[in-house]
Amino acid sequence: MGTHKLSLPIRDRTIGSLSLYAAVTSELDHIFVITRGDDTLDWIDWVLRMKALKSRWTIVRCCEAEKGQSFSLKVGLSRAKGGESRWGGRSPC
Report pLDDT digits (tens) over 29-46.
999 999 999 999 999 999
Give how far Cα 41 sits from Cα of 82, 83, 91, Å: 23, 23, 16
Using left for φ > 0, alpha for ψ between -120 and 50, and beta otherwise, residue 91 falls in beta
Q: How far apart are CA 28 and CA 89, in angstroms?
A: 22
Task: Report if pTM > 0.85.
Answer: no
pLDDT at 87 over 60: no
What are the boundaries of each domain within the chain? 5-80
Both ends of the chain: CA-CA distance in Å? Answer: 24
pLDDT at 93 over 80: no
